[in-house]
Amino acid sequence: MESERTAQIEHFVNEKLAQTDGALVRFEEAEAKISSNLEAILARIRQVVEEKLVVLQDAIHPSEDTTRLIERIVEASSVSTAGDIKKTLEDELLRGRDEMQREIASGAEGPMREL
C-alpha cells in the first residue's frame, strides 16, 4: 500500500511539474511575441511619421531643425508608449503565471493531505 501511495504521489508531482514547465514555455513564447509585436508597432509608427513628414515638407517646407525636433518627439513618445504597453502586458502575463502557480500548488496539497 505504501509503495502504491508513493507511486501516486510521484505521478501527481510529475504531472504538476509538466504543467508548470508547459506554462513556463507559454509564458516565454508570449513574452517573445510581445517584444516582436512592439518592435513592429514602433517600426510602423516611424514609417507613418516619415510619410507625414514628407507631406509636411512639401506643404510648408519646415526647417531641418523643426523636422529633427518632430522626429525626436515622435521617437520619444513611441518608445515611451511601447514601454507602457510592454509593462502592462508583462504585468498581465505575470498575474496569469502567478495564478497558474497558485492553482498547481493548491492542487498539490490534495495528495499530501492524504499522507
Window from 76-80, 98-102, 107-111 with minimum mean pLDDT: 107-111
| pLDDT (0 to 100) of residue 49 | 82
Range of the domain at 16: 2-113
| Greater model confidence, 13 or 55 | 55
User: Comparing 9-13, 47-51, 91-95, which segment has the lowest mean pLDDT?
Assistant: 9-13
Which residue do the cell numbers 505521478 mark? 11
> How would DSSP label each residue in 51-112?
HHHHHHHHHH---HHHHHHHHHHHHHHHHHHHHHHHHHHHHHHHHHHHHHHHHHHHHHHHHH
Span 64-86, mean pLDDT? Answer: 86
Average pLDDT of every residue of the chain:
80
* Alpha-carbon separation of residue 100 from 10, 67, 82, 103 (angstroms): 20, 49, 27, 5
**Residue 113 clears pLDDT 70, i.e. is over it:** no
pTM, rounded to two decimals:
0.53
The number of distinct structural domains making up the chain is 1
Residue type at position 4: E
Closest CA to 27 of 110, 105, 99, 97: 97
Q: Averaged over 88-107, what is the pLDDT?
A: 80
In angstroms, how far is CA 71 from the centroid of its own chain? Answer: 27
